Structure formats: C-alpha cells, structure tokens
Amino acid sequence: MTDRIRHLIEPHIQDLGGFQARRLLPSMALGLVGPFIFFDHLGPATFPPGKGVDVRPHPHINLATVTYLFEGVLLHRDSLGSVQEIQPGAVNWMTAGRGIVHSERTPDRERVQGTTLHAIQTWVALPAEHEETDPWFRHHPATDLPTWTADGATFTLIAGAAYDRQSPVQVFSPIVYLDIQLTPDARVVLPADYSEQAVYSVTPGLQLDGSPLDQHRLAVLTTGVSVTIASDRVARCIVIGGEPVGERHKWWNFVSSRPQRLEQAKQDWREGRFGHVPGETEFIPLPEEPNAREEQPI
Ligand code: MN
C-alpha cells in the first residue's frame, strides 16, 4: 500500500457451481467506488458439453446492472420482454429503477460443444432522485464503444467519460468504466478526473506507480492522485470510478438509499409482484432471512 492507494481490496472467492466468482465490491473496507456498489470478476471458466451458466430470473431495484464479457456468450432476458445475446466487448446496461426481473443463461447452441465464461459484472447505484425511474435495458455492441491505442495500451471506454472521450451508454451520474489492455512496457497515466477511482488487475504483470499490483486486486486510489499503470508483459486492467452518490443499503439483489424500500422489494418478490420474464418458468426464491449478503451474484 502506498499513499496513493487508499484501500487494496482482496477478492472474496465464491464457487458458483462449476466456476469461480471473485467479489471485490462491496468489501469489508469499502462499500462503493463512485456509484459502483458491486464488482464481480467471473471465471475464466470452461464448461463441458451440456453445461453452462444458468442464473434464473431474479429481481433488482434502484440500480443498474452492467455486464461486460472477455470471453463466452450469455443470453439476457428480462421482464420488459428484452431477449439479447451478449458477446465479448459489448455492454448490457440494465436500469432496474422501480423494479425489473432478469435471467442470464448460456444459449442452448453454445452448450453442445462446451462453452466458456470470463466476465466483469458490476452494479451501479442510481442517484437518489433517479432510483424509481422506469426500468430499461440497452445493448451496445463492441463497435459502438470508443476504442483507441496510446502509450502501448488499447483502451475501451465501457461507460462514462475519460481521456476526452464519451461512451454512448446512457448513465445517471459522473462515471468512468474502462478496459485497458497493455502490451509489454506500456505506461498509461490515469488522470485524477473523478474523486473516486480504482484499478482492478485482471491479469498479473501490472505496476501502479512502479509498485507491483498482484493479480485480482482492486486498488482504490486516494482522491486527487493521478497514477501510472505499467506492465512488464501482456496485461489487462479495469478502471472504475466516478462521483459518490451517497450511502446505500444492500440486501440480496436489492440496493437502495432507503432501508424501507428493501423491505418493500422483499415483500414484492415474495408475493410475485415484480413481473414475469417471457420464456422463463423458473425463478430464484427470496433467501431465508436474515443474512443474504453472500447470495446470488448476477
Ligand atoms: Mn441480476
């Protein structure tokens, strides 16, 4: 840890039935980085023929889920009737607002030969005044996202604004979400554009301001400092950040600025008031009280 790194978060590893998920947010040390309240690194996983990912329909409120794949393919369905496959490099942004239900599964045809999954799943808290907005879902193929090469690295701007560029993904508050692929001897300066920023090491081989950053660590930067991200081999990192949106309460898949809203969401899911996902018959039941914080990641 240096004076430039406020928290160095180690992953909490979960086995999700055949593959590993590393949870970096929320952590014991920290709840949010900018509006990011949840950060999972899924896989890389290889599934044998006949197997795949099956995240059954489950609800969200008052946040947006953001799916970004390195490898594999997932089929998203939701209670608005959206049916969308996502491929590596594309973004699925789902604003839950006042409530939505969705599922994520490996498409049937991908199960025949066996499949892979390597992805980052994040949740973005909505500003309090937008928490109850109408739910919506949008898919952005990889070709829609700003991508450029500089200083030995290839940048993809998944969401928000950085380096005088703007992602077309609609957001609700100042945010940055970057994928940076580094070649050996790359040196990238990350400016202090947002009061909260963090660098996640997808691979080994990264240094922050000359100090090694172990693989699978979320380095939360001190406010106002710019850092240099370097690599001694082919490496990859993710940058998240933005401006704070205030405190959030979290229970299972529910996030809200108001604790009583979580109680309402629990009751609504228990009583089947969230809506139905066309094409689905299953669902994830509400976990037993009271401790649901380690449940269902996606
Ligand atoms: Mn979900």
Which pLDDT band holds residue 294 (cuts at 50, 70, 90)? Answer: low
Sign (positive or negative) of CA dihedral 114, 117, 230, 167 = positive
Confidence at residue 1, expressed as pLDDT on a 0 to 100 scale: 58
How many angstroms separate the alpha carbon of residue 227 from the centre of ligand 1?
A: 32
Q: For the chain, how many residues are written?
A: 298
How far is the C-alpha of 235 from the C-alpha of 181, rounded, in Å?
6
Range(s) of the domain holding residue 158: 5-242
At residue 179, does pLDDT exceed 80?
Answer: yes
How many angstroms separate the alpha carbon of residue 137 from the centre of ligand 1?
A: 12
Confidence at residue 19, expressed as pLDDT on a 0 to 100 scale: 83
Residue 268 lies in a domain: no
How many angstroms separate the alpha carbon of residue 146 from the centre of ligand 1?
A: 26
Q: How much of the chain, in percent, has pLDDT values that exceed 90?
A: 92
Confidence at residue 16, expressed as pLDDT on a 0 to 100 scale: 80
Lowest-pLDDT range of 14-18, 35-39, 153-157: 14-18
How many angstroms separate the alpha carbon of residue 111 from the centre of ligand 1?
A: 21
How many structural domains are present in the chain? 1
How many angstroms separate the alpha carbon of residue 274 from the centre of ligand 1?
A: 13
How many angstroms separate the alpha carbon of residue 190 from the centre of ligand 1?
A: 30
User: What is the pLDDT averaged over residues 203-208?
Assistant: 98
Residue 273 lies in a domain: no
Residue 292 lies in a domain: no
How many angstroms separate the alpha carbon of residue 98 from the centre of ligand 1?
A: 14
Residue 295 lies in a domain: no
User: What is the pLDDT averaged over residues 96-112?
Assistant: 97
Confidence at residue 15, expressed as pLDDT on a 0 to 100 scale: 87
How many angstroms separate the alpha carbon of residue 149 from the centre of ligand 1?
A: 32
How many angstroms separate the alpha carbon of residue 29 from the centre of ligand 1?
A: 24
How many angstroms separate the alpha carbon of residue 86 from the centre of ligand 1?
A: 15
Confidence at residue 297, expressed as pLDDT on a 0 to 100 scale: 53
The pLDDT tens digits of the residues spanning 241-265 come to 999 999 999 999 999 999 999 999 9
How many angstroms separate the alpha carbon of residue 298 from the centre of ligand 1?
A: 4
The pLDDT tens digits of the residues spanning 49-101 come to 999 999 999 999 999 999 999 999 999 999 999 999 999 999 999 999 999 99
Residue 226 lies in a domain: yes
User: What is the pLDDT averaged over residues 192-203?
Assistant: 98
Q: What is the mean pLDDT of the chain?
A: 95
Which pLDDT band holds residue 293 (cuts at 50, 70, 90)? Answer: low
How many angstroms separate the alpha carbon of residue 143 from the centre of ligand 1?
A: 25
* C-alpha pair distances (Å), 283 with each of 142, 291, 298: 30, 20, 13
Give the count of beta carbons closer than 10 Å to the beta carbon of residue 150: 11
Residue 260 lies in a domain: no
Which pLDDT band holds residue 289 (cuts at 50, 70, 90)? Answer: low
How many angstroms separate the alpha carbon of residue 169 from the centre of ligand 1?
A: 19
Residue 135 lies in a domain: yes
How many angstroms separate the alpha carbon of residue 164 from the centre of ligand 1?
A: 31
The pLDDT tens digits of the residues spanning 13-34 come to 998 877 899 999 999 889 999 9
User: What is the pLDDT averaged over residues 134-152?
Assistant: 98
How many angstroms separate the alpha carbon of residue 9 from the centre of ligand 1?
A: 23
Look up the CATH number of the domain holding residue 46: 2.60.120.10
Residue 205 lies in a domain: yes
How many angstroms separate the alpha carbon of residue 179 from the centre of ligand 1?
A: 21
How many angstroms separate the alpha carbon of residue 271 from the centre of ligand 1?
A: 19
**Which residue type sits at 220?**
V
How many angstroms separate the alpha carbon of residue 236 from the centre of ligand 1?
A: 25
How many angstroms separate the alpha carbon of residue 59 from the centre of ligand 1?
A: 7
